[in-house]
Amino acid sequence: MASASIATMISWVCYSQDAAPTPEAAEAARRLFREGAQLAEEGRWSDARDRFRRALTVRPSPLLHYNLAMACQNAGYLVEAVDQYRSFLRIDSDPANAARRAAAQRAIAAIEPVLAHVRVSLPEGETLALLAIDGRAVPEGLWGEELSLDPGEHFVDARSTRGSLAQRAFVVRDGERFVVTLEWSAPASAPASADGGASADASAPAITLTPIPTRRAGAAPLGTIERVRRRLEENAREADTTGARPWERTLVIFGVLGTGTTSGVAALGMRWAARPWYEIEAQIGIGHPFGPGVLFFPASFRAVWSYQFASSVMLGIGTNFTEILRGDDPPPAGGTCQPAGPFTPMWLVLGIANEFRIARGAGAVRFVVGGRFLVNHPELTSGVRARCNTPVTHLEPRDLFFDTPLLDHGRFPILPWFAFDAGYAL
């Protein structure tokens, strides 16, 4: 959802005074603009796009082109978004809009690789009279040329001067180049004209040129998992009020401070989002009673709720580089205290994280809570530590946050951990 600051960014003062609509039309345009700003704040980008487009026809301005571009970008009308960003860059000359011009250029650079490019291969044997894509007529000068389209499902219609029709539906993916081949159907029978020829105008079937929203890819019903995945990916592509897409920064290098974490009190880490909904992560740190530790999350499932906020469920494993020394307790009667020897703890770790992206996505701040389980605690209790030490069978408050080698993890299998990390997103 868009930040509340969008209302400030798209204030009414952005409107040009060059046009002179009637007072009634100007007031209607103001109302449309206010409605669009409110809808944008609520994240209802398609409705905001409609309001901004209507206001633009009454009283155009550079910043209204920018606002419409941002609404189009978030609603998935990417070709229109690029066109509106370019209109803004072409007509804006206000020094105060330098940041917006830079954001528009970044948005164009991010959108262009996603656009699909389609060329309609025109059938032979007839003279083309009309070509339309998604119910919108293609100018004659562009027939046979490559056109940019939003990824998704589209349809093309053609009509010859004799009334023959050619129609085809097709699907294009992100960045795909596609050639649509058309074939004429048989023309309808035409009555003879006064000069003995056929009157094509009287019999030619009509193509209804009614623009419709682009249909997205996938004609078959989507399963629940697929619908959720696509929704999360759409959220991750949402732009902030400057046009930046914070979640496009997929690699984060960060520092960690925490307690109860298997990597230690202080750690350095790195995480990478292979997909908007899936991350892998690694940490290495110091300050754990068992010694320096490492922590690896091979599976972290992330739900992006907006351009600024996401939640994750993390599942990981960890270990420490340690050696448990023999204790000071007297050995059992008749026995000899033995050196404890090496012990390699194996931790199973579960966490829930809330992450915030700031500074146009360059800053990543995260809060994590979770639990840890010492998988090989019998080895510690029975095989190593019990030779010279007596396990602690009661839980002290500090054991909830900071491990002690003497704690009997068999009696307290799951202990909490908390962490805060902040870093830079690339």
Check residues 217 and 171 and name the one with the higher pLDDT: 171
Q: Enter the tokens of residue 294.
A: 């490492």
- Spatial distance between the Cα atoms of 280 and 303, rounded to a whole number of angstroms: 14
Cβ proximity of 259 and 414 under 8 Å: no
- Cα separation, 287 vs 297, in Å, equals 20
Is-above-0.75 flag for pTM?
A: no
Show the tokens assigned to 188. Answer: 């309808």
Alpha helices in 159-223, H assignment, sequence order: 200-203
Q: How confident is the model at residue 280 (pLDDT cuts 50, 70, 90)?
A: very high
Exposure class string for 165-194: b at 16+ Cβ within 10 A, else e: bbeeebbbeeeeebebebebeebeebeeee
Domains of the chain: 6-112 (1.25.40.10), 116-190+198-203 (2.60.40), 233-425 (2.40.160.20)
pLDDT at 253 over 80: yes
Whole-number pLDDT of residue 337: 55
DSSP 192: B
- As given in the structure block, the two tokens for residue 122 are 């025109």
The C-alpha atoms of residue 51 and residue 59 are separated, in whole angstroms, by: 12
Q: What is the pLDDT of residues 130-148, one digit of tens each?
A: 899 988 889 988 888 899 9
CA triple 183-187-191, angle to 5 deg: 165
Judged by DSSP in three states, 95 sits in helix
Range with top average pLDDT, 72-76, 181-185, 330-334, 337-341:
72-76
